[in-house]
Amino acid sequence: MSSAIPTGSTLSPNARKGRYGIAYFQNVCAQFGVGFDETSADEDVLAIDGTVQFPALPVRIQVKCTKKIFGSAGVLSWPVTEEWKTKWSRNFGPAYFVVVQVPNDVPGDWIDYAGAGITTHRSTAYWARIDTTSMGASITIQRTNRLTAETLAAWNADLLSCFSEEGAA
């Protein structure tokens, strides 16, 4: 399948990538058992794509989708603007940056329907906690921070630790 817009499609190639990144993240949330509320396009005033609905409080998430690959040191850097950092600095609780990595710009390569009775995503996702106090011109994502359902359990624990006596110290 080509990366050109097929007849009947309304999304640009870049918009398709953006929608896929959100959908991929929503699937991980569903697997873990939490909802993801996407920020309306007209209300994206905090440089946040949505919130994971944990029982205690929601956690803010920014999602990007790319074909960029990790460097030899196992690091992927994503440029951030001063405007994003200013907006992100307003978060009181933990917030996370998620990168969904697709193999290339051809959407037909992102999902494989060839297996009998199985659909395979040819994508992965990685994450970093947003920390504007130590962030330069980019946010660094480590290959070791693979996004899985267990990641969401860790994020929930991270959130709860903000309210424990140990986390407040």
* Per-residue pLDDT reduced to its tens digit, 99-132: 999 998 888 899 998 878 898 899 999 999 999 9
CA 146/CA 150 separation, integer angstroms: 10
Give the domain ranges of the chain: 13-164
- Of 129, 118, 113, 18, whose CA–CA distance to 66 is shortest? 18
Q: What is the CA radius of gyration of the chain?
A: 17
**CATH classification of 13-164 is 3.40.1350.10, yes or no?**
yes
Mean pLDDT, the chain, rounded, equals: 91
Query: For residue 108, what pLDDT is reported?
Result: 86
CA 105/CA 83 separation, integer angstroms: 27
Which residue matches tokens 């994003």? Answer: 84
Contact (CB, 8 A) for 36 and 27? no
- Tell me the per-residue pLDDT of 79-104, one tens digit each, with 9 for 90 and over: 999 999 999 999 888 999 999 999 98
Query: For residue 146, what pLDDT is reported?
Result: 98
Contact (CB, 8 A) for 68 and 76? yes
